[in-house]
Amino acid sequence: MFKKKLVHLVVGAMLLGTICTAATAMDKNYKRGSVWSVTLVKVDPGKGDDYLDSLKDAFMRVNDEAIKEKVLLSYKILVGDASNSTDWNVLIMTEAANFAALDTMEAKMDAIAAKAYGSLDKAEASDKEAMTNRAKIRTIYGDKMLQEIHFVK
């Protein structure tokens, strides 16, 4: 009985929060746009080309197909100089339509990888090997999910 009441209270609070958030969003001077997965990477000095070469085949093959199948909107890799010895120098970004698209993305990306490599097992083995090799020349500083904001005129 207590659990049932607690569930009703939680659901009610969530619903109220959603309604309040939606009402507040209508008053804001911006609209929410696409969602970006961002990875910040520090590649060891002199290993930039090796790192990019290791990304090129698998990353492009799978992500280009994901764009064709409308699983992803786009991707970008940005490279620049680190501002100090503890800064990242490569930014990897993939763009999805919205947060809801992320709910089914893993299964869709698995299917794309399986198609690209002949099976999911082969895709995972290739990815594991590539990740092991990349780990020797880079440090991942972090991953973030960010949402674009478009100002209303």
Return the pLDDT at 21.
53
pLDDT tens digits for range 74-99: 999 999 999 999 999 999 999 999 99
Domain residue spans of the chain: 30-151
Token pair recorded at residue 42 = 């520090």
Instruction: Decide: 112 and 65 in contact? Cβ < 8 Å.
Output: yes
What average pLDDT does range 93-121 have in this prediction?
A: 96
Domain 30-151: CATH class, spelled out: alpha beta
